[in-house]
Amino acid sequence: MQKSIPWSRRRFLTSAGAASGTVLLNLGPGSVAAIAEAAHAAKSTQAGFTVLGAAEARDFEAMAARIIPTTDTPGATEAGVIHFFDQAFASEMADALPVARDGLARLNADTAGRFAALAPAAQDDLLRAIEDGPFFELVWTMTIYGFFALAKYGGNQDNIGWNLVGFEGHHGPWLYPFGYYDAEAAAEARDEA
């Protein structure tokens, strides 16, 4: 059995960027934006899931909730990342759906039931046992995307993810702090005032 490494929310968020960047390079920004926009539409209309069955959705949602749990701050459940999962599997990541379903079937076979029905401690134990595999990496990456996507496109409901890390967002890329020239302009404005 592998030695488990305790994960803090800070450690998770710090390491999330590296893994997300790798998958993002494979998908491209346009694909992620398209997934997020479709997820937002589904979440806004309270539409049913496009490709995920109800039991699958509960399992994936439970996994995401263990990856970014609800503590004294909102987690993946409150951010609505399951809608991001569904839309990604229905479109740009359709080729990953069989991998996800196979991984989920194997995980559920190990539980002799459904992952979502297990106690949180048992869920954590199962996720630790698979954390080095491609299935966990896929679910982990999609959870991150769903949690930190632009709120208007899906996931990150009410900017939960942004607020958690202190990202002020809510402005265009032309505003400070998006480059040294913006910092210089802001400093000049303060000096003139």
Residues 80/154, Cβ–Cβ less than 8 Å: yes
| DSSP-derived secondary structure letter, 176 | T
Tokens coding 151: 């709120």
Distance, in Å, from the CA atom of 137 to the CA atom of 160, rounded to the nearest integer, reads 22
> pTM surpassing 0.75?
no
Tokens of 40: 């937002």
pLDDT band per the 50, 70, 90 thresholds, residue 73: confident
Q: What pLDDT band is residue 161 in, cutting at 50, 70 and 90?
A: confident
How big is the chain, counted in residues?
A: 193
Quick one: which of 40, 24, 128, 123 has its CA closest to 81? 40
Q: Which DSSP symbol is given to 3?
A: P
pLDDT in tens, 108-153: 998 889 999 999 999 999 999 999 999 999 999 999 988 887 665 5
Contact between 118 and 111 under an 8 Å Cβ cutoff? The reply is yes
Crossing angle (nearest 10°) for helices 97-111 and 54-67: 80
